[in-house]
Structure 1
C-alpha cells in the first residue's frame, strides 16, 4: 500500500519521467509503474507529506508543507469525493476521475503548480477518460529540474 496526498493523484496522471531530482524521479517512476501494472494497488490518502514527498530534494524551501499545496490536496480530494484516511484501490481512483474530472479542471485546481504549463496533466486526464489508464513511462529523464 502507498500513502499519497491529494494532489499527487493528479501528478501521477501527468507524470512523464521528469522530477525535482534523480532520487525523486526514481521513486515516482516506481510508484507510477506499480499503479499502471497493478491497478488494484491500495492507496491510503494522507494529509501532508507522503511517500513522494520523502524524496523531494532538500534544496531550500520545502514546498511539501506549503499552505497552497494543502489547499490543492483538499480541492482534488473534494472533487473526487474522497477523504483523508480513506483507503482506495488505484483503479477506483481512475473510475472517480472518469466520473468527476475533466481536463480543464487542471487550470483551476492546479493553477499555482509550476508543472501545469507543460500540459501533460490534461493529457493524462484525457487518457484516463479514454480508458487508457496511466501512460507508460519508457525512460527516466535524468535531468534535475531544480527550478521547480
Structure 2
C-alpha cells in the first residue's frame, strides 16, 4: 500500500476529522487497515497515496488546494530525510511506525514536519505537549 511519509505521523493520531465526511470515512478505513497489521508492506512516498486519492483537493493526483502541493511534498521529504529512507522504499508497517515513534517522540520533534498544518492540533494529540 502506498503511503505518504508525513501520513505516518497523521495516521497515529487520526480522530475522524477531514476535508469532508467522505474523505474522513475513507481515511478511517485506510488508518484501520494500516495500523491493524504490523506486517503490511508500505511503499513510502512523497506523492499521492491511498489517503490523498479520497481528498476533495486531489485533481489528477495533485493537491489543488492553493499552494498546498509544494508544502505537502516538503513535509514528506522532511520525514524521509529524518528517517533516513529513500522515497519508494518498501517497509513493513510495524517496523516503520516503530522507527517513526523513535524519531518523532514529541510534538516539538514534529514541528519541522507539521509546521502550520491545520490538522496538527487534531492529529498530534498523542505526542505530548503542544507545538
Retained in 2: the 8 A contact 1:48–1:65? no
Q: CA deviation digits over 1:47-89, x for unaligned, max 9?
A: 3111211111149972396211111100011111221110011
Alignment of 1:23-38 (within 5 A): 23-38=22-37
* Distance (whole Å) between structure 2 residues aligned to residue 59 and residue 83 of structure 1: 24
Q: Which has the higher contact order (CA 8 A, sep 6+)?
A: 1
Residue 79 of structure 1 aligns with which residue?
82
TM-score when normalising by structure 1: 0.73
Aligned length: 123
Query: RMSD of the alignment, in Å?
Result: 2.3
Query: After alignment, is 57-66 or 100-109 more displaced?
Result: 57-66
Give ranges in structure 1 of 5+ residues lacking alignment: 127-148
SS at match of 2:116: coil
Following superposition, which runs of at least 4 residues in structure 1 exceed 6 angstroms of deviation? none
Structure 1 residues 33, 54: closer, same or farther in 2, change over 3 A? Answer: same
Q: Going by fraction, where is strand more abundant, 1 or 2?
A: 2
Give ranges in structure 2 of 5+ residues lacking alignment: none
The answer as to 2:73 corresponding to 1:70 is yes
